[in-house]
Amino acid sequence: MQFDEKYVSLRAFCYTNTQQLSLALSDYTILLQQNRSVENYYNRALVLHDLNKNNECIDDLKAALQIQSQEKTLIKLIQCLNDQQRFDESLQYCNQLEQQFNESDDWMKLKIIILKNVKQFKQAVELCLRIGDMSGAGYCYRKLQQYAQAIQCYNQVKDPSLRDLQNRGFCYARLQKYFEAITDYTRVLQIEQSGSSFYNRGICFQKMGRKQEAINDFNSCIRIEPEHIQAKEALGIDVQ
């Protein structure tokens, strides 16, 4: 029987869409035996990724790039390498993506993630500012210990997340603006109570001389996290 590439390709597509991934993998392997095309490698890579066969997925994506460099293939490869914490390698492909294709928010966001992972916060903050990601810029400035700039960025976030509020509170505390820090930590605690937020607010109360409120927060921290060493030390509890 003559091989019908179009039929097998369509069947593989249907198997993929119906989550019959092992059958899809088999069909894409058959297709690659007949035609080592970019699309066949790319499509099999997607199936391998969904099957958690990450190393094989990466191999197929690299094989596709050897045939033809495509933006979607590079983006997927970078994502997979990042997921495996192969950050230096993923950054190399980010640079290749930047050199070969027009700038887009999608791949810039991806590069920001990689830069954060390799702790290149100065480069990351520049990209964040270019695409208007003020939350990301605030985080990078915080990691760079540029707390005033971090606060300026967080102040421009229209709908700050809990993490944004926690980070801004941390920055205020570092600048000894304890009232503002307490305000942010209180907003966080109104939404989600965590030991770290109680502890951080307690420290701010302590710095302001509001002893009883600090004690209350340290106790609340220990109630949520019984082994929180810093909160116990703040209350004078022996942690040995």
Residue 1 has pLDDT above 60, yes or no: no
- Tens-place pLDDT, residues 159-183: 999 999 999 999 999 999 999 999 9
DSSP 51: T
pLDDT of residue 237: 78
CB distance 63 to 41 below 8 Å: yes
- What integer best gives the mean pLDDT of the chain? 94
Question: Considering the entire predicted model, what is its pTM?
Answer: 0.81
Q: E-strand spans in the chain?
A: none
CB distance 23 to 53 below 8 Å: no
**Assigned domain for 53 exists:** no
**Assigned domain for 164 exists:** yes
User: Half-sphere exposure of residue 34, counting CA atoms within 13 Å on the CB side?
Assistant: 12
Residue 239 has pLDDT above 80, yes or no: no
Tokens of 150: 């971090």
- Tens-place pLDDT, residues 123-155: 999 999 999 999 999 999 999 999 999 999 999
**Assigned domain for 89 exists:** no
Label residues 189-211 b or e (16+ Cβ within 10 Å = b).
beeeebbbbbbbbbbbbbeeebe
DSSP assignment string, 63-111: HHHHH---HHHHHHHHHHHHHTT-HHHHHHHHHHHHHHS---HHHHHHH
**Assigned domain for 66 exists:** no
Residue 213 has pLDDT above 60, yes or no: yes
Residue for token pair 């019959």: 20
Residue 232 has pLDDT above 90, yes or no: yes
How many domains does one find in the chain? Answer: 1
Q: Nearest Cα to 55, choosing from 94, 30, 63? A: 63
What percent of the chain has pLDDT above 90? 88
**Assigned domain for 169 exists:** yes
**Assigned domain for 207 exists:** yes
Distance, in Å, from the CA atom of 165 to the CA atom of 139, rounded to the nearest integer, reads 11
CATH classification at residue 225 = 1.25.40.10
pLDDT of residue 238: 59
pLDDT of residue 225: 95
Identify the domain containing residue 215 by its residue range: 160-240
End-to-end CA distance of the chain: 77
